[in-house]
Structure 1
């Protein structure tokens, strides 16, 4: 049997209400407003997961302790989702920058080897072929001449 994760919908509305410290009707209102969207059973009953319970507790805290209205909470949640997406994008872009930096360093190394080879070519200016096994130099020459 699979382990129950934080996204597994297992709590009926009465249990979710008790765990969150809210009234079941309040949970229905939050569902209608889209603040918490529990899964539905085939009979249309709501099933809340552990993540939903955490969200409900946060809504309760924000309304009761911070005095934030539901429109404000919706806006906060929207900003948090956007911030999470942006953090993911920043991570992706940092990885890309790292890969590009590595590729640039590799390209610079190949260019330096090419320059050394050109300086070491014959006295008449004829280019000497790269040593055997230097496919990276050949590839770099092709890139430079393309």
Structure 2
């Protein structure tokens, strides 16, 4: 069981968050905190959902509108997803470095993207000269 496991019924989640169950239903309708559903359609909240409910209460207490709260939660979720993606990529890179010591795995492209390389190859370099003149 982890923080994303849907284990709490709406009554328990409301109690843990210090809210009324009807408030949780409203937040679900607004898309602020959308719990997972059981086969019968009952809401199940995770510890992460409860933490988000507490954050909504804190932000609301500071005068942030529900639209502002929605945006803050959206950005926090995006940061968490990106953090998990970076962690996965770091793990994959570490595995690759262990399995192929001394081999190049990738290089940065001219536009900043990732260019995969085969073992023993070098990246192509751009050697074009660009002349810039300001227009008058």
Would you call these one fold, judging by a TM-score over 0.5?
Answer: yes
Structure showing greater Rg = 1
TM-score normalised over the length of structure 1: 0.55
TM-score normalised over the length of structure 2: 0.59
Contiguous gaps of at least 5 residues in structure 2: 105-119, 123-136
Aligned to 1:43: 40
Aligned to 2:68: 72
Contiguous gaps of at least 5 residues in structure 1: 105-139
* Structure 1 or 2: more strand by fraction: 2
For 1:48 and 1:85, how far apart are their aligned partners in 2?
Answer: 19
Aligned to 1:23: 20
Q: 1:7: how far off?
A: 1.6
For 2:103 and 2:39, how far apart are their aligned partners in 1?
Answer: 53
For 1:57 and 1:10, how far apart are their aligned partners in 2?
Answer: 17
Aligned to 1:116: none
* Structure 1 or 2: more helix by fraction: 1
Aligned to 2:10: 13
